Chains A and B, each alone.
Chain A
Amino acid sequence: MSEPAIVTHDLQKIYPAARAVDGLNLNVPGGAVYGFLGRNGAGKTTTMRLLLGLARPSAGSGRVLGLDIRRDRLAILQRTAFVGERKILYESLTARQLVRFTASFYASWSHQAVEKYARLLEIPMTQRLSKLSHGNRTKVCLLLEARLEDIKNEFRLIIAAGNNLPASTSSQIISTVPSDRFRKYVVAREAEAFAAGLRQQGAEIVEISPLTLREIFLALLKKEEPCTPGNTGVTPALVS
């Protein structure tokens, strides 16, 4: 493991009504796949928003890929990809228009990679986003981050929150990723479905051991039933 991907020291975010993140110390090693887990309202999403500069920390500090989250917001955004939990996109645009619009914000953009993944994931690029299914919208979100694929020797970070991808889509995505050269870090909320046991421990935010991306996706593929009180979907291998 080389340079830490994410480091936070006593990171805090206090809202008038609640203490969303309270003194978080996080150390995500470079080259790792990382599950960032916690019960509802524990502050996972807020932490991601702090790391990406969407919210300002009340106290503490943080670094992403060695960059300060307060000062280097734009540099962090240039080198990271974020697929939000709600995936609300511009409904009136087609997927192709959204790709063109997004590309305009980046100094480097791999059109080839985007085209390649659009074909592999079978995304209807000429359809308006309002007409796309939830799964296809998630694919479009991931597609926009495929721009990072051709950037060599760079630290890259993918933060994916609550994608809730169906197993078939996950399978499609993982098939496009060569695991040997994959150097992206994932903070994935999906893994929460496997961590009910950890939540029972009353932990505010629980970090799990670094895993490979392939392991996480393989575990996701095994999960066939929705997470219910009777079927928590806990995979012991993931939480041990």
Chain B
Amino acid sequence: MYAWKYWRDTRARFLTFSVLWLGIALLLVFTTLSTHTRSEHWWRPAVPGGGYYPVWTQVIFGMALCGAMMAALAGFFLGASGAGEEFERGTLPFLATRPRPRAYFVWTGWVVGAGELFVLLAAGMGVAFTVLIHFTVAGTRQLTLARARPLPHQLFYLFDWAWLVRLFVWRIVVLLLLLWITGLVCYSLAYLLTLIARSRPNGAAFAIGLSIAYLVAAYLLRHYAGINVPTPVNLFDWMSDGRTRSLYIAGHYVVVHISIPYPFSALAGWLVVSVAFVLAHRLLFDRADV
């Protein structure tokens, strides 16, 4: 039942960020589509030396950029809850006099929030990519954006959409995981700092401030001292590292990434960092006077 109550407490923030992210993701898709001519879609002939990407790759890039910021923001605000929020509104004595270990409240709240974050990101991405499939894959469908009139090359080539999805699905799944972990780090940090501050707005503000300070410090260290400090931003390095190759498929040239160095170890590392924040939260809460 505590999971239910936690959901009730955070659902307004969850819905707000869900709508926001969905809007941004759709805007990204439509903007990308509208700035490409038909020939620049997925199977445009490869240009020697490259220089621009097919629509799908471009949307994935854009989604990584916007998604990382949205995941972080949603994480900060969703994380400003739990025991810290209960402290602030004075309901903690009621909760703490129920016969449950305090760890139960800590982990239940965290799991519900982490789930909300995942659903939020997955829903936005899911809808956005579904729309993208609708417009780019099926050869019989027409792009009907405001600027799009029937162009000479409006017709898509018939293409096996399943093949396209298969090619990108792993990349999209990895991107979703990375966005989630990015958000989770921010969420767990805000969860911890809200308890320490015993205030929701302060917890979120401290988490945002600390994160920005950390990113700036990491940049300065790398830039001036050559010391590499890991940040969640590094999770997205693979997007520019992947080597590309032009493949001749179904009578057309296709630019694809090959040998993508997915950052699974870094992903696991940041997951551990998130859990460490929760463990610290639990330790502090266990010892806190209510």
Shortest distance from the beta carbon of B31 to any chain A beta carbon, whole Å:
39
Count A-side interface residues using an 8 Å CB cutoff. 24
Q: Cα distance A53–B290 when bound, in Å?
A: 9
CB-CB under 8 A from A75, the residues of chain B are 99
Residue A55 interfacial (CB < 8 Å): yes
Given contacts A74-B101, A82-B97, A88-B94, contact A55 B289 (CB under 8 A): yes
Residue B111 interfacial (CB < 8 Å): no
B289 and A56 contact, CB distance less than 8 A: yes
Residue A54 interfacial (CB < 8 Å): yes
Q: Cα distance A52–B290 when bound, in Å?
A: 10
Contact of B90 among A82, A86, A105 (CB under 8 A): A86
Interface residue stretch chosen among A36-44, A96-104, A228-236: A96-104
B1 and A54 contact, CB distance less than 8 A: no
A77 and B289 contact, CB distance less than 8 A: no
Q: Cα distance A106–B2 when bound, in Å?
A: 13
Residue A89 interfacial (CB < 8 Å): yes
Secondary structure of the A contact surface, majority rule: loop
CB-CB under 8 A from B89, the residues of chain A are 88
Map CB proximity to A onto B18-40 as digits: 1 under 8 Å, 0 otherwise. 00000000000000000000000
Given contacts A55-B290, A105-B100, contact A89 B93 (CB under 8 A): no
Count B-side interface residues using an 8 Å CB cutoff. 19
Shortest distance from the beta carbon of B263 to any chain A beta carbon, whole Å:
41
A101 and B90 contact, CB distance less than 8 A: no
Residue B227 interfacial (CB < 8 Å): no
**Cβ < 8 Å to A, chain B residues 100-143:** 100-101
B289 and A49 contact, CB distance less than 8 A: yes
Given contacts A77-B97, A101-B1, contact A88 B90 (CB under 8 A): yes
Q: Cα distance A105–B105 when bound, in Å?
A: 11
Map CB proximity to B onto A18-58 as digits: 1 under 8 Å, 0 otherwise. 00000000000000000000000000000001001111100
Q: Cα distance A151–B100 when bound, in Å?
A: 20
State the A residues within 8 Å of B (CB): 49, 52-56, 74-75, 77-78, 82, 84, 86, 88-90, 92-93, 100-102, 104-106
> Besides the contacts A77-B97, A88-B94, what 20 more A-B pairs have beta carbons closer than 8 Å?
A49-B93, A53-B96, A55-B289, A74-B101, A77-B99, A78-B99, A84-B97, A88-B93, A89-B91, A90-B91, A93-B5, A93-B8, A100-B1, A101-B5, A104-B2, A105-B98, A105-B99, A105-B100, A106-B98, A106-B99
State the B residues within 8 Å of A (CB): 1-2, 4-5, 8, 89-91, 93-94, 96-101, 287, 289-290
